[in-house]
């Protein structure tokens, strides 16, 4: 009895649980401060900088990195690449949690969060890009929830409901791809109204195209990254099929990401040429832009291609992390670093530690929920009753 108690206590006080518990506790305190005291209590936002790290990281990065859901489901169900089937459910779950946490994070940023549903259900502004983004995110979150439900229904043993949802897979996938195309590009289009605030190297009439194309390799890289973490920490939950198909998923998505990254690099160069912004490249801002373009686009494209040619899974997995960091750098450059670049340093926005801690809290919450679901539901393995269907 004492040995069982000791083992249980050891599991309860594992490093992961202790660190996670501390982050969640701090996050709950900051949440109370924000909603009881207002935005000024925990943020450094002002009239010149109304959007901070909660938009730049939680929203823009979150939506881009959640693109693995529509990329993977489209590859499997629209293009018929069934060898990626084992990656669909983890990608859908990651995307669903990503979008759900984006909406959750928006409640922190909106001054009156109880009015968040108003643009859709009460007072529609159909000429606003924000309305289009909000509507698409709302609809796509609904689609992702329905796409996720077969795993939950199999876990609950509700066969009839599960079979009904599965029959809707192709329609849901097509609808999800359309919605994702719209709102991924529209997030970039939001910055088209600020040509005087965003630095010319990051401002372009092609911003909607940049955001959509970058979401493709962001989603592919996130699938590889998520799979890497799952293989390391949830290996015991994976079945034989998932383990056998893992190499094909890594190599296939790595190859596709190499092509898309290369294409993205060239359309960025075309954008500079069209806008005649070559002279900005010799400035300090130009050096930082080249760090992003060469260091986090061109080099990862080459590393992906090399990893695929050599069938080096380790290199591909490292490159996936590299690419994910590059996507986050791009979104933060556009929304924070290169935004209001002309203001003196004293008026530039710098996030408070409480804003950063709140973002870490939200990400940690997503990891906890993902771990809870994958250790209980058939996400990383096929339910025994449905193995013959694929």
At residue 129, the pLDDT reads 82
pLDDT digits (tens, 9 = 90+) for 204-224: 999 999 999 999 999 999 999
Residue 1 scores a pLDDT above 60: no
Is residue 39 domain-resident? no
pLDDT digits (tens, 9 = 90+) for 299-317: 999 999 999 999 999 999 9
Is residue 37 domain-resident? no
Beta partners for residue 339, in sequence order: 198
Residue 151 scores a pLDDT above 90: yes
At residue 271, the pLDDT reads 95
Kindly state the average pLDDT of the residues 55-59: 93
pLDDT digits (tens, 9 = 90+) for 67-124: 999 999 999 999 988 889 889 999 999 999 999 999 999 999 987 888 888 888 877 7
- Give the model's confidence band at 2: pLDDT under 50 very low, under 70 low, under 90 confident, else very high: very low
CB contact set of 301 (below 8 Å; sequence gap of 6+): 257, 258, 261, 262, 265
pLDDT digits (tens, 9 = 90+) for 167-188: 999 999 999 999 999 999 999 9
Is residue 355 domain-resident? yes
Residue 8 scores a pLDDT above 50: no
pLDDT digits (tens, 9 = 90+) for 226-236: 999 999 998 88
Neighbours of 137 (CB within 10 A): 23
At residue 13, the pLDDT reads 78
Measured between alpha carbons, how far is 334 from 318 in angstroms, rounded to an integer?
25
At residue 93, the pLDDT reads 95
Which candidate, 171, 170, 150, places its Cα nearest to that of 386?
150
Domain region containing 86: 46-379
Q: What is the C-alpha radius of gyration for the chain, rounded to an integer number of angstroms?
A: 22
Structure-token pair, residue 179: 């919605």
At residue 382, the pLDDT reads 87
Is residue 190 domain-resident? yes
Is residue 204 domain-resident? yes
Side-chain half-sphere exposure of 248, counting CA atoms within 13 A: 13
Structure-token pair, residue 356: 């950063």
Is residue 387 domain-resident? no
Is residue 385 domain-resident? no
Nearest-5° angle of CA 314, CA 319, CA 322? 135
CB contact set of 337 (below 8 Å; sequence gap of 6+): 288
Would you say 375 and 234 are in contact if contact means Cβ atoms under 8 Å apart?
yes
Number of domains in the chain: 1
pLDDT digits (tens, 9 = 90+) for 329-340: 999 999 999 999
At residue 113, the pLDDT reads 83
CB contact set of 159 (below 8 Å; sequence gap of 6+): 153, 385
Structure-token pair, residue 61: 């990065």
Would you say 244 and 382 are in contact if contact means Cβ atoms under 8 Å apart?
no
What CATH code is carried by the domain that includes residue 295? 1.20.1630.10
Is residue 29 domain-resident? no
Kindly state the average pLDDT of the residues 128-143: 89
Residue 7 scores a pLDDT above 50: no
Average pLDDT along the chain: 91
Which candidate, 206, 207, 328, 337, places its Cα nearest to that of 284?
337
């Amino acid at each position: 009895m004492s040995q069982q108690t000791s083992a249980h206590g050891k599991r309860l006080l594992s490093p992961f649980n202790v660190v996670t518990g501390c982050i969640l506790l701090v996050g709950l305190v900051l949440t109370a401060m924000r909603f009881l005291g207002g935005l000024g209590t925990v943020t450094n936002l002002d009239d010149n900088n109304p959007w901070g790290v909660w938009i730049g990281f939680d929203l823009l990065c979150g939506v881009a990195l959640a693109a693995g859901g529509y990329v993977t489901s489209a590859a499997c169900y629209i293009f018929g690449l069934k060898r990626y089937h084992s990656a669909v459910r983890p990608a859908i779950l990651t995307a669903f949690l990503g979008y759900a946490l984006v909406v959750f994070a928006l409640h922190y940023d909106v001054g009156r969060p109880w009015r968040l549903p108003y643009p859709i259900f009460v007072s529609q502004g159909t000429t606003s890009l924000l309305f289009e983004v909000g509507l698409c995110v709302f609809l796509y979150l609904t689609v992702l929830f329905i796409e996720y439900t077969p795993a939950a229904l199999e876990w609950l043993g509700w066969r009839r409901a599960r079979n009904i949802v599965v029959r809707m897979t192709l329609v849901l996938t097509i609808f999800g791809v359309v919605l994702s195309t719209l709102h991924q590009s529209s997030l970039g289009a939001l910055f088209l109204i600020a040509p005087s605030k965003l630095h010319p190297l990051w401002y372009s009439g092609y911003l909607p195209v940049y955001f959509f194309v970058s979401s493709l390799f962001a989603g592919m890289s996130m699938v590889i990254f998520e799979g890497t973490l799952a293989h390391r920490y949830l290996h015991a939950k994976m079945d034989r099929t998932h383990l056998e198909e893992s190499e094909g998923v890594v190599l296939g998505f790595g190859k596709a990401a190499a092509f898309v990254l290369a294409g993205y690099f060239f359309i960025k160069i075309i954008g500079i040429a069209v806008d005649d912004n070559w002279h900005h490249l010799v400035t300090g801002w130009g050096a930082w832009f080249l760090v992003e373009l060469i260091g986090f686009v061109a080099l990862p494209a080459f590393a992906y291609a090399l990893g695929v040619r050599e069938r080096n899974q380790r290199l591909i997995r490292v490159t996936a992390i590299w690419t994910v960091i590059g996507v986050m750098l791009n979104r933060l450059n556009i929304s924070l670093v290169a935004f209001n670049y002309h203001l003196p340093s004293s008026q530039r926005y710098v996030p408070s530690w409480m804003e950063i801690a709140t973002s870490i809290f939200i990400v940690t919450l997503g990891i906890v929920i993902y771990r809870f679901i994958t250790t209980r539901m058939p996400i990383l393995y096929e339910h025994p009753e449905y193995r013959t269907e694929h």
